[in-house]
Structure 1
Amino acid sequence: PGVGVFTLSADTPRALRRNLRLQAVDVAGRTGEELARLCWTSNRSRAALPYRFATAADGPEELASRLFAAAELETEYDEHTAAAEEPVLAFAFTGQGVQYPRMTAGLYEGSTVYRTFLEEASKALQPYTVTPVHEAILAGDPVVHRTGTTQPALFAVQYALARTLMELGVRPAAVVGHSIGEFAAAVVAEALDLADAARLVAVRGAFMQQLPEGGGMLATRARPAEAAALVADEPTVGVGALNGPGATVLSGDLGALERIRAKLEERGLMCTPLRVSHAFHSPLMAPMLSRFERVASRIPAGRPRLPFHSTVRGRLLTPGEELDAAYWTEHICATVRFEDAITSLCDRPPTHIVEIGPKPVLSNLIRRIGAAREIPALGVCRNEDSGLRELGELLAHLHQDGLDPAWDTFYPEAGKQAVRMPAHAFSTEWRSWHQQLTTAAPAPRPAGSPAAAHGVAAPDRVRQGVREAVATVRGGRHDELDDALRFYDDLGFDSVMLMELKYRLEVRFPELGELSMPEMLSSLVSVESLIAYLSEQLIAAVAR
């Protein structure tokens, strides 16, 4: 309940900075209990104009600090940062090896939506697992590293993450999956339903776990042609994955891998053995193929409704191609052609790639692939503590780039209550009319009046007091200050300096009592505007 995503937009960078300052002062005076309601109100009550600010926060102090910081970044918002059309997103689903005990536990505890979808996937897998998958994950049981549990657990997490994002309005225009990740990708693309995918994944993991151990995988810097030549002489080794430039994985018999490793290191190519229980995507998987195909043949073939960039084919599936028993069987031993699939995805590039998995690993690979190097790759989770905060950060990033999420889904019911916020501050630099008012000069005050008692006429007293306070906070001499200097742009004031200035003005003008920062904010443009504001307040106080 204490996490929110605060949003603000304007039609120009300058207007955005002006309103960031206005909101920062208001937020600084809020309580933690108000944060979610304040953020929800900002999501609903502010028009989504081209220049946008969005940030996740779990406390008003942090939010105020971020607002002030963004307002002071002159280069952060310019004519090149306006949100254009709505983002076009692709989902990239991770493969085996990213699992860990209690993965996504923070999100399960913090998000009702995610909890619902994880339990839905766990229920679909229940006929094939001893312990409900979500319970095995959350218990912190190292059993999640055993292939028979790993693959169903990863599938459940990926399904729940993808469905949660889709409920939040983050919908993919295309999908790609690395190895086991293709099953959740197929569900999102509507080529498999949840029940059928759960059965395939559970059976696949169980059959792999039953294979003899003793195989391994080796991450190398070898180029694809070089890797193919090396495995040609080793029938028990295959090219497990082509992940990107200098990221080739070999898979197979441990002894054969050692021989290949020695050859590669003689050539100066670094190799890293991977910690796996079996040699996935290698000839050592062959003994399970016929058993798996019999199960897969009872699952209806499906055609993806979304562009499906296959890591088996290394390209976009054509409209008539099906994900059938033959495809899922070939999938077991085939090379994971991830680089080719991402390159294919970039033939019509998305604006963003969202990695769907319990921690980001594909994002680093994607950044190394030439066609995708400039596309932002964003993750949902970093570790077991990742929760609403990280989910909110993803939504904030996408909203700044043009997405309008389904904000209501992000907040609990208690957070969906409107609160009063400062009105949008419009520029006062230009007016479409000008009217000169002629007023009589004010009558001189009697010698015994309160203002005269200070020994200085009120306007001069205020001007001197403001200049001295500003000089004390900023440094320098007060008689060298020009009243036209602007607090933010010329004098370099930030939120801390403004609060100190407020305190010093209260001490210098005790008859005004405690000054209201939200009321003062519109006058904190220049020294001159602050002098005018305080002069009016002082006259009103004396009149009382």
Structure 2
Amino acid sequence: TLHVDEPSAHVDWSAGTVRLLTEPRRWQSSGPRRAGVSSFGISGTNAHLILEQAPEEDRPTAVETAAPLLLSARSPQALRDQANRLRAHLAARPGIGMGDVAYTLSTARTVFKHRAAVLGADRDALLTGLTALAEGREVPGVVRGKAVTKSRTAFLFTGQGAQRVGMGRELYEGFPVFAAALDELCGHLDPLLGRSLREVMFDGPAETLDRTAFTQPALFAYEVALFRLVESYGVRPDVLIGHSVGELAAAHVAGVLSAGDACALVAARGQLMEAATSGGAMVAVQACAEEVAASLPEGDAVAIAAVNSPGSTVVSGDAVAVVATAEHWRERGARVRRLSVSHAFHSAHMDPALDKFRGVAATVEFRPPVLPVMSDLTGEEATAEQLTSPDYWTRHIRETVRFADCVRGAEARGVTAFLELGPDAVLAPLAAECLSADALSADALTAPAVRRDRSEAQSLLAALCRLHLHGVAVDRSALVPPAGIVELPTYAFQRRRYWLRDTAAEPGERLDGWFWTAVGNGDTEALVDTLGLTPGQVAAAEGLLTAARRWREEALRAVAVLDGPPSAGDAREGGADGLPQSPDALAEWLAGHDRAGREGLLLTLVRTTAAEVLALPGPDDLDPEADFLDVGFSSLTAVELRNRLCTVTGLPLPPGVIYDLPTPRAVAAYLDEELGEREAVGEPTPEATA
């Protein structure tokens, strides 16, 4: 311990082998190491945590490309300064290995909210990226982001149509985790398909891979192996979304189906759907589903196969009727694209496959999911009863894929990061179209793990970096090859002077200050005495003061106009900064504003109050997403902030409010919710009851 050097007399130290450690000693251990860590005095709470050494795990092989340089800071300017300091440091020391630099940044640096990743093939490219980051320029290879508080993550599993020959070969050769997962699944699928699925994926002709009997098993195997690889980097999903056959991959990794049963089901699905009615067509229409549905002919000739986004709908069915529907929308100016498929999936053309598939599904064992899975059929989270029912998976072949509703449902559950697991970027851009304006303004992330136009390894590295920048937990040490720790520049602190104005000002400003004081006070005597004017010059001095005072008043009025008129609450029982000082004044201040306006005003209240407690120059010095503890709050100042907010709002806020709600935005949202509930029940403010 740091502060105790004499064992307590209240403990019988002779009864065991526990000893008080009063000086450093080598840690001898024959088994897993265990350590106790105590924390005393935070809001009067004492905590004790026991840590045990983690078992050794297989680590993914480092990406075969230059390791990324990961930087972070507490503000955008500090991030740019950090990049500039690092660039100058490396430029002056050409002998430092970039692998050591990347490893040090990934394993020996604190991570702050404002983040960046610099990617490049060699030292020169990385230095060029650091220069661009320092200058605030947008260039390829430099990715910026701001970590989202309590970010939740969804994995998207791509459906049929994204397949391509060669998919997975690079990942298979470079990553043992991916290779092991793919080999396991191919071991189950190859006997069911009658040939090597890996050969079909890596080397077979496109015509073979495009056959549904091979396409669906190939996508399933690829996506599950990619899931295992991403998982090995420490990334854990909170929600799973699969598009059509992709939901089978989601169900398997969620624990609904074992590897063997999942392979049996996906192989039967592909074979039966390929053997279903042929001669159909599928067309993607750039229009909303409701309008497209209203334009379809009566009967089963054409069906809505998928609702991929608010402006992207897929129709499927008889070729003649589908083409006629496409022409109808093309004439109305909508973009129309015919899909390259052999059958009309998710239409009446699939009816002959349903009974046989239901029979296969009845032979496998289903288990409740251990991860939430969004349902293609409902757009809501699938229940255990649905996912364990053969009828559910049979309907899955025939009914509409409601991908857009799944994305919206995930967003409603707090998901802000969407990672697509598939051989190309198909669902990620569609997911971006489905998100609300609030999510987009909050920089929600939609990213593909792999893109067909780039190296699979480089795409994966970039995607993992983007997740880290967004605030998703990623094992940063796994992103770089093992290397050494080297000396690098320390944090680029954003220093600010806090001296009194007369000593901090420039010499010219200090000399001129007396003059404007005299102008403001109309003090002719000060002007005469300081300048040593003669009696004959006094009249001129008085005229100068009058003209200068008039000019100053007009200038101040002009500045006030440029700054904008005061808010409606400035004249209502406000403090010096125009903010309300009581519950009644707060209610009047918020009256007439919509939800966004209320939240904005309450955020201003929280930031201004917090800045006053910390003696910061103003609310602009406190980021809405800044962690209270990171910017300097302690137990004492936390209570002071809570007390001030209680006085203004009249709410009985808990003493540890900033520990439960660690950012100004979170506190503002909580205040808005609590005030709204009080207004809804007509509860009077404490002042009114008094």
| DSSP-derived class of the 2:178 partner | helix
- Show CA shifts across 1:3-45 (max 9, x none): 3122223344444333322322344578899444432232111
| Cα distance change on mapping 1:32 and 1:393 into 2, 3 Å | farther
| Cα distance change on mapping 1:270 and 1:4 into 2, 3 Å | closer
Match of 2:268 among 203, 225, 243: 203
With a CA cutoff of 8 Å and minimum separation of 6, indicate the structure with the bigger relative contact order.
1
Cross-structure match for 1:469: none
Cross-structure match for 2:392: 327
- Does the alignment pair 1:109 with 2:173? yes
- Show CA shifts across 1:223-247 (max 9, x none): 4334334445242322111112231
Q: Is the 8 A contact 1:104 1:386 kept in 2?
A: no
| Cα distance change on mapping 1:419 and 1:241 into 2, 3 Å | same
1:202-351 to 2 correspondences below 5 Å: 202-318=267-383, 320-351=385-416
Cross-structure match for 2:466: 397
| Cα distance change on mapping 1:20 and 1:148 into 2, 3 Å | same
Match of 1:52 among 115, 131, 139: 115
**Corresponding letter in the other structure for 2:155:** F
For 2:408 and 2:287, locate their aligned partners in 1 and report how far apart those are by CA, in whole Å.
19
- Does the alignment pair 1:88 with 2:152? yes
For 1:5 and 1:322, locate their aligned partners in 2 and report how far apart those are by CA, in whole Å.
40
Deviation at 1:385, TM superposition (A): 4.3
- Does the alignment pair 1:153 with 2:207? no
**Corresponding letter in the other structure for 1:171:** R
| Cα distance change on mapping 1:258 and 1:9 into 2, 3 Å | closer
Deviation at 1:84, TM superposition (A): 4.6
The range that moved more, 280-289 or 10-19, is 10-19
Deviation at 1:381, TM superposition (A): 0.9
Q: Is the 8 A contact 1:22 1:422 kept in 2?
A: no
Q: Is the 8 A contact 1:215 1:284 kept in 2?
A: yes
**Corresponding letter in the other structure for 1:308:** V
| Cα distance change on mapping 1:107 and 1:36 into 2, 3 Å | farther
- Does the alignment pair 1:6 with 2:72? no
For 1:301 and 1:106, locate their aligned partners in 2 and report how far apart those are by CA, in whole Å.
33
1:55-204 to 2 correspondences below 5 Å: 55-73=118-136, 83-142=147-206, 143-204=208-269
Cross-structure match for 2:636: none
| Cα distance change on mapping 1:117 and 1:139 into 2, 3 Å | same
State the superposition RMSD in angstroms.
3.0
- Show CA shifts across 1:471-513 (max 9, x none): xxxxxxxxxxxxxxxxxxxxxxxxxxxxxxxxxxxxxxxxxxx
For 1:424 and 1:403, locate their aligned partners in 2 and report how far apart those are by CA, in whole Å.
25
For 1:191 and 1:352, locate their aligned partners in 2 and report how far apart those are by CA, in whole Å.
24
For 1:338 and 1:427, locate their aligned partners in 2 and report how far apart those are by CA, in whole Å.
46
| Cα distance change on mapping 1:298 and 1:319 into 2, 3 Å | closer
| Cα distance change on mapping 1:160 and 1:29 into 2, 3 Å | farther
**Corresponding letter in the other structure for 1:99:** Q
Q: Which of the pair has more CA radius of gyration?
A: 2
| Cα distance change on mapping 1:226 and 1:397 into 2, 3 Å | closer
| Cα distance change on mapping 1:290 and 1:46 into 2, 3 Å | same
**Corresponding letter in the other structure for 1:335:** T
Q: Is the 8 A contact 2:158 2:420 kept in 1?
A: yes
| Cα distance change on mapping 1:259 and 1:385 into 2, 3 Å | closer
Q: Is the 8 A contact 2:428 2:447 kept in 1?
A: yes
- Does the alignment pair 1:39 with 2:78? no
For 2:95 and 2:123, locate their aligned partners in 1 and report how far apart those are by CA, in whole Å.
6
Q: Is the 8 A contact 1:187 1:197 kept in 2?
A: yes
**Gapped runs of 5+ residues in structure 2?**
1-63, 499-690
For 1:170 and 1:277, locate their aligned partners in 2 and report how far apart those are by CA, in whole Å.
36
For 2:287 and 2:469, locate their aligned partners in 1 and report how far apart those are by CA, in whole Å.
40
Deviation at 1:121, TM superposition (A): 2.5
**Percent identity at matched positions?**
34
Deviation at 1:102, TM superposition (A): 0.7
| DSSP-derived class of the 2:115 partner | strand
- Show CA shifts across 1:419-469 (max 9, x none): 42324156596899xxxxxxxxxxxxxxxxxxxxxxxxxxxxxxxxxxxxx
Cross-structure match for 2:549: none
| DSSP-derived class of the 2:68 partner | strand
The range that moved more, 207-216 or 4-13, is 4-13
Q: Is the 8 A contact 1:221 1:248 kept in 2?
A: yes
Q: Is the 8 A contact 1:107 1:386 kept in 2?
A: no
Q: Is the 8 A contact 1:56 1:392 kept in 2?
A: no
For 2:495 and 2:307, locate their aligned partners in 1 and report how far apart those are by CA, in whole Å.
59
Deviation at 1:364, TM superposition (A): 2.1
Match of 1:418 among 465, 470, 484: 484
Q: Is the 8 A contact 1:54 1:399 kept in 2?
A: no
| Count, aligned residues | 427
Deviation at 1:108, TM superposition (A): 2.8
For 1:428 and 1:284, locate their aligned partners in 2 and report how far apart those are by CA, in whole Å.
65
Deviation at 1:340, TM superposition (A): 1.7
Deviation at 1:356, TM superposition (A): 1.2
Deviation at 1:48, TM superposition (A): 1.5
| Cα distance change on mapping 1:31 and 1:108 into 2, 3 Å | farther
- TM-score by length of structure 2 reads 0.57
Cross-structure match for 1:511: none
For 1:32 and 1:86, locate their aligned partners in 2 and report how far apart those are by CA, in whole Å.
40
Q: Is the 8 A contact 1:147 1:209 kept in 2?
A: yes
For 1:132 and 1:399, locate their aligned partners in 2 and report how far apart those are by CA, in whole Å.
37
For 1:223 and 1:10, locate their aligned partners in 2 and report how far apart those are by CA, in whole Å.
42
| Cα distance change on mapping 1:5 and 1:32 into 2, 3 Å | farther
Deviation at 1:182, TM superposition (A): 0.4
Q: Is the 8 A contact 1:7 1:39 kept in 2?
A: yes
For 1:333 and 1:241, locate their aligned partners in 2 and report how far apart those are by CA, in whole Å.
11
| DSSP-derived class of the 2:304 partner | strand
- Show CA shifts across 1:157-205 (max 9, x none): 1111111111111211001111111011112222222221111111111
- Show CA shifts across 1:36-82 (max 9, x none): 44322321111223333323332111111111211222999xxx975
The range that moved more, 421-430 or 256-265, is 421-430
**Corresponding letter in the other structure for 1:327:** Y
Deviation at 1:384, TM superposition (A): 6.4
1:395-544 to 2 correspondences below 5 Å: 395-411=464-480, 415-424=481-490, 427=493
- Show CA shifts across 1:326-368 (max 9, x none): 1111101111111222222222231211111111111222222
| DSSP-derived class of the 1:200 partner | helix
For 1:126 and 1:75, locate their aligned partners in 2 and report how far apart those are by CA, in whole Å.
47
For 2:136 and 2:434, locate their aligned partners in 1 and report how far apart those are by CA, in whole Å.
32
| Cα distance change on mapping 1:246 and 1:123 into 2, 3 Å | same
For 2:95 and 2:121, locate their aligned partners in 1 and report how far apart those are by CA, in whole Å.
8
**Gapped runs of 5+ residues in structure 1?**
433-544
| Cα distance change on mapping 1:230 and 1:112 into 2, 3 Å | same
